[in-house]
Amino acid sequence: MQNELNIVGIQADLVWENPAKNLAFFEEKINALSKNTDLVVLPEMFTSGFTMNTEKVAEKMDGNSVSWMLKMAMKKNVAICGSLVISERPFDCAQGDKIFYNRLVFVHPSGKIETYNKRHSFTLAGEDKIYTSGTEKLIVHYKGWKICPLICYDLRFPVWARNTENYDLLIFMANWPITRIKAWDTLLKARAIENMSYVIGVNRTGKDADNYAYSGNSLIIDFFGEEISNLENNEVGIVKATLIKTEQNRIREKMGFLNDRDSFLFTE
């Protein structure tokens, strides 16, 4: 078990539906990171911005963007995670039919890949009409840490994020607009407090083609809801922190809050 986990979130002004430019930006940032970085978190739909134009930007799991993640993870000996538009053709679909996922891809430096399909589709933007929702939560085991990665709108649903697995780190990656940025800040801290867990939230900046503005406000928060690291409004750059597992475990054992949590049964 590794007691300390050095995490980095990269806040970017995503170029609309332009994977090549976005990957070039993230590659430059990742190449500049210190050698002791363990985990890099990218925003939601980091190759394109939050788009409904699936046919234009969708890739397969063996496509260029996931291959790039593999290359960078192995080159820098760091885990990398972010979500992007992935297309698949299920066995029960007609020839040529495809379904699309807003899929989080977690790439280990060993080359191992784990995935999570966004559970809560953002109906306000019609995401539910374009993308297929996921049904399974993912818990990643990495360097002795249990990590739960979720995507944007999932943040509003505490039962889905509930720490029933005794995870050590909760991740949220997002395209969360400035008009609701107070909710972003408040809900991230609430998820940290109620789950007694470190939390990192990585958002984008800039403006997309649908004229939605994003201010970033990426955060790393401890198990008491206190900010460890943050980025100012509209700043492009990184948030980073060293998380200490023994300290989190000490507080959990001392307070015992998780022992008193309610049990919820998730049903479709």
Structurally, the chain folds into a number of domains equal to 1
The predicted pLDDT at position 216 comes to 96
* Alpha carbon distance 86, 159 (integer Å): 26
Average of per-residue pLDDT across 230-246: 94
Q: What is the pLDDT of residues 146-166, one digit of tens each?
A: 999 999 999 999 999 999 999
CA angle, 9 as apex, 183 and 131 as ends, to 5°? 65
Q: What is the mean pLDDT of the chain?
A: 95
pLDDT value, residue 98: 85
The answer to whether residue 177 is domain-embedded is yes
Nearest to 115 by CA among 130, 127, 103: 103
* 92 pLDDT higher than 60: no
Domain of residue 145 covers 4-258
- Tell me the C-alpha distance between 176 and 196, whole Å: 23
Q: Is the pLDDT of residue 72 over 80?
A: yes
Two tokens, residue 70: 């593999």
pLDDT digits (tens, 9 = 90+) for 180-210: 999 999 999 999 999 999 999 999 999 999 9
Query: Considering the domain boundaries, does residue 62 fall inside one?
Result: yes
Q: What is the pLDDT of residues 203-227, one digit of tens each?
A: 999 999 999 999 999 999 999 999 9
Give the residue numbers marked as catalytic.
44, 118, 152
CATH number at residue 85: 3.60.110.10
Residue 93 has pLDDT above 70, yes or no: no
Closest CA to 176 of 150, 151, 147, 209: 151
CA distance 198 to 208: 30
Whether 58 is in a domain gets the answer yes
User: In this structure, is residue 265 part of a structural domain?
Assistant: no
CA-nearest of 183, 189, 254 to 224 is 189
Share of the chain above pLDDT 70, in %: 96
Instruction: Determine, yes or no, domain membership for 208.
Output: yes
pLDDT beyond 80 at 7: yes
Q: CB count, 10 Å around CB of 91?
A: 4
**264 in any annotated domain:** no
Inside any domain, residue 107: yes
pLDDT bin (cut points 50, 70, 90) of residue 264 is confident
Q: What is the reported pTM?
A: 0.95
Token duo for residue 131:
């993308």
Mean pLDDT of all residues in 48-72: 97
Does the structure show a pLDDT above 80 at 94?
A: no
Please write the tens of the pLDDT for every residue from 106-135: 999 999 999 999 999 999 999 999 999 999
> CA angle, 212 as apex, 211 and 216 as ends, to 5°?
135
Question: Does 213 reside within a domain?
Answer: yes
Residue 225 in contact with residue 33, Cβ under 8 Å? Answer: no
